[in-house]
């Protein structure tokens, strides 16, 4: 693998040397071990005392800490899941705005038949309350792959991968508004301030990579309504919040060295470290202090690990072309998909890819469905397919769960004449990769594609399934807050076993 991960560097030089990165300057290392360090490390590893302390503090929640698995002072250290996982990482391709299932993966001949007529069923309140006539899809559907699953001509490249997809056509959400629906698909709650699914995942599993954050959000320039709280850690420790990686020279906040040269920074950090050590030696060790000292190592490594990650020069021309980096239309999103692959390759646990700014309102086509969806599809179809193919050819697809979907779908009747309004009552998402049974269609909407009527799935079911594939029981992944053992799935959620291998 091109991006072999550094394990978390302890202050023990002998341990550290076998993970020496070429970028890492050996000067930024610790001196000899204190008596206390010896004591603690020889027992249970770094910070075991503090770990024990935290583990017995029920105010933080009984299941927060498992002293056998997690070094709590490095909360991102990998911990064992509840059972054997099918996937190690997740790539969530969030289709912000709500792509139309009726124009992608859920063909409805009735729309063709009744195009232009009033819809013959009761219409629910919609966001814009501007209900038009039945609107047929501008795109034809064709059968693809061994499975023969129909996909519309809007997504010709993803269609090629259809045998790898499990398409859930009966997804539902509880909210018609973007912001609430975004919070809901990200955190299992329609309100602000709850932990994102990526935060829950890293909280539950830690990360396989110790020089990058465990939960990375690839920001392509469009932040979903609801803002950064879609990726927040909520009541979980800040450790688990999503880190935004933007494009450009400084993809991460405060990542760019403030000093003119690396040497100047190292000289400074050396002094910080030696003065900190001196203080600890004088005043007695405290675990909080020690972990904060160690934290500087990770921060330091991130300064080089992130730019390395974002530098795609080492990727072959064929790979770049696979993602569409050679075409201005697909270059931007293709780059994000390629970075997503590089992130999971490095062991990052949860990657979310956000759409780019195409100068219109993402997948949210309240009008001009054809133009808008076409632009979105052009930007993302080939890169997404490229990602699936690339992961597969590298053997990574088996251990990576790819999820594609928006916060809701769209209505079968037009909004105005040529748009579609929000439809949380029935829509499509698909999954691929680790543990997913490819070439599957699950659930169904009614003849109009308005309501899910067969095997209805909630967002909670999606979350339960994601955690399940990662080896976690969504009912056991809890955190005590406000008098309750909180869960990503609240009191809901059932794993969708029918789409699993």
Partner 1 sequence: MPPFAGSRPRFAALASVMLLSLAQTAWAQADAAPSAADVEFFEKQVRPILAARCHECHGAQKQKASLRLDSRAGVLAGGDSGAAVVPGKPEESLLVDAIRYGDTYQMPPKSQLPAAEIATLVSWVERGLPWGPDAPAGETAGAVDGFDLQKRRGHWSFQPIMDPAPPDVADVAWVKTPVDRFILQKLAAAGLSPAPPAERRALLRRVTYDLTGLPPTPEELAEFLADDSNDAYGRVVDRLLASPRYGERWARHWLDLVRYAETYGHEFDVDLPNAYRYRDYVIRALNDDLPFDQFVVEHVAGDLVTPPRRNPADGTNESILATGSFLLGEAKHSPVDVRQDEADRVDNQIDVFAKTFLGLTVSCARCHDHKFDAITTKDYYALAGYLQSSRYQQAFIDPPEQMAGTLAALDALQIERRAAYVEFAREVIESRLAELSAKLAAGSTTNAAPTTGSPAAANELSLPGDGWGDWSATGAAFGTHPLRPLDLVSRQRDGRDVLAFAGVATAHSGQQTNRLHGVLRSPTFEISSTKIHYRLHGTGGRVRLILDGLQLIQDPIYGGLRFDAGGPSPHWHTQDVSKWVGHRAYLEVIDDGDGYIALERVAFSDDAPPSDSASVELAAVLSRTGADSPETAAEARAARCREVAKAWLAAPDARHADEPERAAIISALLTAAMTDDAAPAARLNERLADIDNRQRDLEKQITPPRQAVALADGTAENERVFIRGNPKTLGDEVPRRLLEALGGTRHAPPDEGSGRLELARQLVAPDNPLVSRVIVNRLWHHHFGAGIVRSVDDFGVMGQPPTHPELLDYLARELVRNGWSLKSLHRLLVLSNTYQMSSRPRPEALLADPTNKLWHRMSVRRLEAEAIRDAMLAVSGELNETMYGPSVMPYLTEHMTGRGRPKDSGPLDGGRRRSVYLAVRRNFLSPLFQAFDYPTPFTTIGRRGSSNVPAQALALMNNPLVVDQSRRWADRVLQSTDATPEARVQAMYLRALSREADPTELAAALQFVAPAAGNPADPAAWSELAHVIYNLKEFIFIP
Tell which positions 225-254 bind partner 1, by CB under 8 A. 225-229, 232, 234, 237-239, 241, 243-244, 246, 248, 250, 252-254
Contact flags string 467-486 toward partner 1, x per CB under 8 A: -------------x-xxx--
Residue pair 477/200 in contact (Cβ under 8 Å)? The answer is: yes
- How many other C-beta atoms are found inside a 10 Å radius of the C-beta of residue 41? 17
Euclidean distance between CA atoms 69 and 75, whole angstroms: 10
Site for partner 1 in 373-412 (CB under 8 A): none
For partner 1, which is the closer residue by CB, 177 or 374?
177
- CB of 396: closest distance to partner 1 in angstroms? 25
Contact flags string 435-454 toward partner 1, x per CB under 8 A: ----------------x-xx
Residue 68 interacting with partner 1 (CB under 8 A): no
Euclidean distance between CA atoms 303 and 23, whole angstroms: 10
- CB of 288: closest distance to partner 1 in angstroms? 6
Query: Would you call 279 helix, strand, or coil by DSSP?
Result: helix
Nearest by Cα to 325 from 279, 272, 267, 390: 390
- CB of 22: closest distance to partner 1 in angstroms? 20
For partner 1, which is the closer residue by CB, 98 or 226?
226
Q: Out of 94, 139, 300, 323, point to the residue binding partner 1 (CB under 8 A).
A: 300
Residue 28 interacting with partner 1 (CB under 8 A): no
Q: Out of 196, 219, 304, 365, point to the residue binding partner 1 (CB under 8 A).
A: 219
Euclidean distance between CA atoms 119 and 445, whole angstroms: 15
DSSP string for residues in 67-80: TTT--TTSTTS---
Residue pair 86/397 in contact (Cβ under 8 Å)? The answer is: no
Structure tokens at 417: 């004449």
The residues, ordered by sequence, that sit 6+ positions from 195 with a Cβ below 8 Å of its Cβ are: 187, 203, 232, 233, 234, 235, 236, 240, 479, 488
Residue 292 interacting with partner 1 (CB under 8 A): yes
Nearest by Cα to 113 from 92, 134, 90: 134
Residue 31 interacting with partner 1 (CB under 8 A): no
- CB of 422: closest distance to partner 1 in angstroms? 8
Residue 198 interacting with partner 1 (CB under 8 A): no
- CB of 146: closest distance to partner 1 in angstroms? 27
Euclidean distance between CA atoms 25 and 400, whole angstroms: 32
- CB of 500: closest distance to partner 1 in angstroms? 17
Residue 224 interacting with partner 1 (CB under 8 A): yes
**Which one of 79-87, 122-130, 315-323, 406-414 is the stretch in contact with partner 1 (CB under 8 A)?**
122-130
Euclidean distance between CA atoms 452 and 473, whole angstroms: 26
Count of CA atoms in the C-beta half-sphere (13 A) of 189: 16
- CB of 142: closest distance to partner 1 in angstroms? 27
Site for partner 1 in 71-110 (CB under 8 A): 73, 75
Site for partner 1 in 168-197 (CB under 8 A): 170, 175-180, 190-193
What pairs with residue 244 in β-bridges? 217
Nearest by Cα to 426 from 442, 411, 404, 405: 411
Residue 266 interacting with partner 1 (CB under 8 A): no
First to last CA, the chain: 27
- CB of 105: closest distance to partner 1 in angstroms? 19
Q: Where does 115-177 have alpha helices with state H?
A: 156-160
**Which one of 108-116, 277-285, 343-351, 463-471 is the stretch in contact with partner 1 (CB under 8 A)?**
277-285
Interface size with partner 1, residues (CB under 8 A): 93
Structure tokens at 431: 């999954």
Nearest by Cα to 427 from 91, 95, 99: 99
Q: Out of 131, 255, 266, 321, point to the residue binding partner 1 (CB under 8 A).
A: 255
Residue pair 34/12 in contact (Cβ under 8 Å)? The answer is: no
For partner 1, which is the closer residue by CB, 249 or 316?
249
What pairs with residue 143 in β-bridges? 150
- CB of 92: closest distance to partner 1 in angstroms? 18
398, with CB counted inside 10 A (0-12, 13-18, 19+), is middle
Q: Out of 23, 80, 131, 285, point to the residue binding partner 1 (CB under 8 A).
A: 285
Euclidean distance between CA atoms 467 and 470, whole angstroms: 5
Residue 34 interacting with partner 1 (CB under 8 A): no
Residue 264 interacting with partner 1 (CB under 8 A): yes
Contact flags string 36-55 toward partner 1, x per CB under 8 A: -------------x--xx--
**Which one of 103-111, 135-143, 264-272, 319-327 is the stretch in contact with partner 1 (CB under 8 A)?**
264-272
For partner 1, which is the closer residue by CB, 199 or 387?
199
């Amino acid at each position: 693998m091109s991006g072999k991960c550094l394990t978390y560097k302890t202050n023990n030089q002998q341990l550290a040397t076998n993970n020496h990165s070429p970028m890492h300057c050996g000067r930024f290392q610790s001196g000899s071990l204190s008596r206390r360090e010896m004591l603690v490390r020889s027992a249970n590893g770094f910070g075991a005392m503090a770990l024990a302390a935290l583990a017995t503090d029920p105010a933080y929640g009984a299941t927060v800490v498992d002293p056998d698995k997690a070094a709590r002072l490095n909360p991102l250290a990998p911990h064992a899941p509840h059972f054997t996982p099918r996937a190690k990482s997740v790539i969530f391709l969030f289709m912000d705005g709500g792509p139309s299932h009726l124009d992608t993966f859920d063909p409805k001949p009735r729309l063709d038949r009744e195009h232009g007529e009033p819809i013959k069923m009761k219409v629910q309140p919609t966001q814009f309350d501007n209900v038009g006539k039945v609107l047929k899809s501008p795109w034809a559907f064709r059968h693809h792959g061994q499975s023969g699953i129909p996909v519309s001509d809007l997504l010709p490249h993803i269609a090629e991968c259809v045998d790898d997809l499990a398409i859930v056509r009966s997804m539902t959400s509880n909210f018609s508004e973007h912001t609430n629906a975004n919070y809901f698909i990200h955190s299992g709650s329609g309100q602000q301030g709850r932990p994102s699914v990526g935060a829950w995942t890293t909280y539950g599993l830690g990360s396989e990579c110790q020089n990058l954050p465990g939960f990375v959000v690839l920001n392509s320039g469009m932040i979903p309504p609801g803002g950064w709280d879609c990726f927040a850690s909520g009541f979980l420790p800040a450790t688990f919040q999503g880190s935004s990686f933007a494009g450009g020279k400084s993809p991460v906040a405060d990542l760019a060295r403030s000093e003119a040269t690396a040497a100047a920074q190292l000289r400074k950090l050396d002094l910080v470290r030696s003065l900190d050590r001196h203080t600890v030696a004088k005043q007695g060790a405290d675990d909080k202090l020690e972990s904060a000292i160690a934290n500087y190592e990770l921060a330091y490594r991130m300064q080089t690990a992130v730019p390395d990650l974002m530098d795609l020069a080492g990727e072959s021309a064929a790979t770049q072309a696979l993602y569409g980096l050679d075409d201005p239309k697909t270059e931007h999103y293709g780059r994000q998909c390629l970075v997503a692959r590089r992130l999971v390759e490095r062991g990052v646990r949860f990657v979310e890819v956000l759409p780019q700014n195409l100068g219109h309102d993402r997948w949210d086509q309240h009008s001009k469905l054809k133009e808008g969806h076409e632009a979105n599809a052009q930007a993302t179809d080939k890169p997404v397919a490229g990602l699936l193919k690339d992961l597969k050819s590298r053997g990574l697809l088996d251990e990576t769960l790819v999820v594609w979907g928006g916060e809701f779908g769209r209505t079968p009747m037009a909004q105005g004449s040529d748009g579609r309004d929000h439809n949380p009552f029935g829509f499509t998402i698909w999954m691929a990769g680790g543990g997913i049974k490819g070439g599957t269609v699950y659930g169904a909407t009614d003849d109009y594609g308005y309501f899910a009527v067969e095997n209805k799935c909630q967002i909670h079911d999606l979350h339960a399934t994601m955690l399940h594939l990662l080896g976690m029981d969504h009912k056991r992944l809890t955190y005590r807050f406000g008098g309750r053992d909180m869960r990503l799935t609240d009191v809901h959620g059932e794993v969708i076993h029918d789409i699993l291998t």
